[in-house]
Amino acid sequence: MLAVSVLLAIAATLSLAIGAYPIPLARVLDGTLSDSEWSVLTRLRVPRVLASCVGGVAFATAGAALQSLFRNPLAEPGLLGVPSAAGLGAATALIVLGHGTGLWLGALIGAGIVMLGMLMAMRRTASNLVGGTITLLLLGVAINAACAAGIALLTALATEGELKTLAFWMLGSFASLTWPQVIAMATATMLGALALSRESPALGALALGERSAHMVGVSVTRLRLRIALVTTAMVACVTAFCGSVAFVGLAAPHIARLMVGAAPRRVLPLSALLGALLCVLADLVARAIAAPIELPVGAITSILGVPLMVWLVTRRTSAL
Amino acid sequence: MSTERALLRVLGVGRRAGTALLLESVSFAVDEGAVLAVLGANGAGKSTLMAALAGDSTLDRGDIEFSGKPLAAWSPLELASRRALNASEPPVPFAMSVADYVALGRPFAAPDAEAVTAALAECHADPWRARDYATLSMGEQLRVQLARSLYQLGASEGRTRCLWLLDEPCAHLDMVQRQFVLKLMQRFAKALQWAVVFSTHDPMEAQAIADHALLMRHGRALLHAPTEHALDETTLSACYGQPIVAAPAFIAK
């Protein structure tokens, strides 16, 4: 945990300095930065590094909580359909309404509508102790399918420029965020992460199965509702501004679990740190490797995360 | 049966799924310190009854009282410290040590290593405490699950008057293991005045430890009586709808 925190601090510092417009760190400490350097640092670099930390925390903790809730290591934040709903909202804003700048608002509205719909459907159907989780999962599958269809229809109407904007947004990016946007993301993520960590004992007991978790005192149906609400809200806020950053929500909890075991009270905080680290590094690579061209950060998270995860997973199976 | 010592009271319980009657006006009581065996053919309603006692299905009719109070009036945590269930369980999705698994019996409290060890020792499962739960055999997993319930119910602290429900606990066990598990259930019933209710397909398990037997058929209670009166060729033939004869059998001592 300490090692990961130190790595995160180093990565974040490096990330502040490196980029298309390098900022020498020694001069930051001296206070001898030029006005333009200062402006790059405070208006571009710092919000960007913060956003990538926050995005990593949101995707990773949501993924960890959903994996415990669904008792399935394949669960990830996209499972409940929020990122694809946000994508549909963004596509609608861009293509139908022609608002390139209102992308995030469209995404937030799209995600919000889906979240409300899902909660209403859950109130009616997911009250069963054992079948409810499957219901929730199938709702997510249905939402994903509907949103994919909507996006496909809209892209048929889109111009080439709109298609490129949309594709880039959907792959995720931590670039060009304003301070108020970063603060909104950070607040939502912090509240969400706190709420999830309060649920970690109950999430841990779900490893026994819904029925046994109920027997040891967990109110399973209410827990399910709360986790669905918190994770979707968190993911919606981040996705609206940064797009869907692939793989972090799946990989970070796995890596954390292989490091500290399955108990959510240890997995959640470590996933948060690992998710932030993965996103900061991915963002750094995305803009440094082919500067001044920016690569999509979602692709980089996968490129960084996949080998690490494959190594950890195969190492574990050979040890058993 | 002396009703003032009844820890569990089932009062005219009924449950239906669509038009099918799963349970119909089932009534019985279990005293503290007593073991009840629930017998019946497949589909007779044993598991539905166990689920009703475990509180994970809603009743269409009747009421269930534990320790003089309807189940619905208990808070989930209060009830969890006094009532445990062992039934067939889905596999654990993540790698987890046996000791951590047992500690999930009380998820909201800090793990009590001593009590976990004591519970594992009762089930002769302490050598596996550091093993990955998923690598244990089915019979070994069952003993760890029993240890989880003992930990949940505070067995090592001597918590009395609990309700221990077991749905076919011996289904996958060899005859020696089966005898061990039955004796364990009986021991806690007697030592801590727990009410133990278990379902089984084998009348010999009832004969081995049960004070009373409940014979079910088509969702109804056919007969509820002390085991020595409840189990004979006539009653069992009626219960299973087939002629049943007593014959010598092998039993582990």
Give the pLDDT confidence of B192-232 residue by residue, as tens digits. Answer: 999 999 999 999 999 999 999 999 999 999 999 999 999 99
Which pLDDT does position B78 carry in this prediction? 95
**Is A319's Cβ below 8 Å from some Cβ in B?**
no
pLDDT over threshold 50, residue A320? no
Is residue A316 very low, low, confident or very high in pLDDT (cuts 50, 70, 90)? low
Amino acid identity, position A226: R
CB-based contact A263 B55, cutoff 8 Å: no
Q: How far away is chain A from the Cα of B247, in angstroms, using its nearest Cα?
A: 38
Which pLDDT does position A124 carry in this prediction? 66
Chain A CB contacts of B94 under 8 Å are 73, 207, 257, 262
Nearest to B105 among A71, A73, A216 (CB): A216
pLDDT digits (tens, 9 = 90+) for A161-208: 888 888 877 778 888 788 999 999 999 999 999 999 999 999 999 999
As for how many domains chain B has, the answer is: 1
CB-based contact A216 B97, cutoff 8 Å: no
CB-based contact B107 A129, cutoff 8 Å: no
CB-based contact B94 A212, cutoff 8 Å: no
Which pLDDT does position B178 carry in this prediction? 95
**Is A75's Cβ below 8 Å from some Cβ in B?**
no
- Look at residue B90 and tell me if it is in a domain: yes
What residue numbers bound the domain in which A37 lies?
2-319
Which pLDDT does position A72 carry in this prediction? 81
Chain B CB contacts of A129 under 8 Å are 56
pLDDT digits (tens, 9 = 90+) for B116-153: 999 999 999 999 999 999 999 999 999 999 999 999 99
Greater pLDDT, A2 or B178 = B178
Is residue A126 very low, low, confident or very high in pLDDT (cuts 50, 70, 90)? very low
Chain A CB contacts of B101 under 8 Å are 207-208
The nearest alpha carbon in chain A to B153 belongs to A216
Mean pLDDT across the stretch B93-102? 93
Is residue A318 very low, low, confident or very high in pLDDT (cuts 50, 70, 90)? very low
Share of chain B above pLDDT 90, in %: 87
CB-based contact A261 B106, cutoff 8 Å: no
- Look at residue B246 and tell me if it is in a domain: no
- Look at residue B247 and tell me if it is in a domain: no
**Is A74's Cβ below 8 Å from some Cβ in B?**
no
Q: Which of A129, A219, A201, A221 is nearest to B77 (CA)?
A: A219
A with B: how many residue pairs have Cβ under 8 Å apart?
80
Nearest to A209 among B89, B97, B107 (CB): B89
Which pLDDT does position A289 carry in this prediction? 82
Mean pLDDT across the stretch A303-312? 79
User: Does residue B248 have a cis bond before it (omega within 30 degrees)?
Assistant: no
Q: What is the 3-state secondary structure (H, E, C) of chain B?
A: CCHHHEEEEEEEEEEEECCEEEEEEEEEEEECCCEEEEEECCCCCHHHHHHHHHCCCCCCEEEEEECCEEHHHCCHHHHHCCEEEECCCCCCCCCCEHHHHHHCCCCCCCCCHHHHHHHHHHCCCHHHCCCEHHHCCHHHHHHHHHHHHHHHCCHHHCCCCCEEEEECCCCCCCHHHHHHHHHHHHHHHHHHCCEEEEEECCHHHHHHHCCEEEEEECCEEEEEEEHHHHCCHHHHHHHHCCCCCCCCCCCCC
Q: How far away is chain A from the Cα of B57, in angstroms, using its nearest Cα?
A: 8
Nearest to B107 among A129, A202, A316 (CB): A202
Chain B CB contacts of A214 under 8 Å are 54-56, 76
CB-based contact A217 B132, cutoff 8 Å: no
Is residue A129 very low, low, confident or very high in pLDDT (cuts 50, 70, 90)? low
What residue numbers bound the domain in which B222 lies?
3-240
Q: Which of B177, B181, B168 is nearest to B47 (CA)?
A: B168
**Is A263's Cβ below 8 Å from some Cβ in B?**
yes
Which pLDDT does position B1 carry in this prediction? 47
CATH of the domain at A168: 1.10.3470.10
As for how many domains chain A has, the answer is: 1
Greater pLDDT, A11 or B57 = A11
Predicted ipTM of the assembly = 0.91
CATH of the domain at B89: 3.40.50.300
Q: What is the 3-state secondary structure (H, E, C) of A225-280?
A: HHHHHHHHHHHHHHHHHHCCCCCHHHHHHHHHHHHHCCCHHHHHHHHHHHHHHHHH
- C-beta separation of A173 from A114 below 8 A: no
The nearest alpha carbon in chain A to B55 belongs to A215
pLDDT over threshold 70, residue A131? no
Is residue A319 very low, low, confident or very high in pLDDT (cuts 50, 70, 90)? very low
Q: Which residues of A225-242 are buried (b: 16+ CB within 10 A; e: fewer)?
A: bbbbbbbbbbbbbbbbbb
CB-based contact A211 B56, cutoff 8 Å: yes
Mean pLDDT across the stretch B163-172? 95
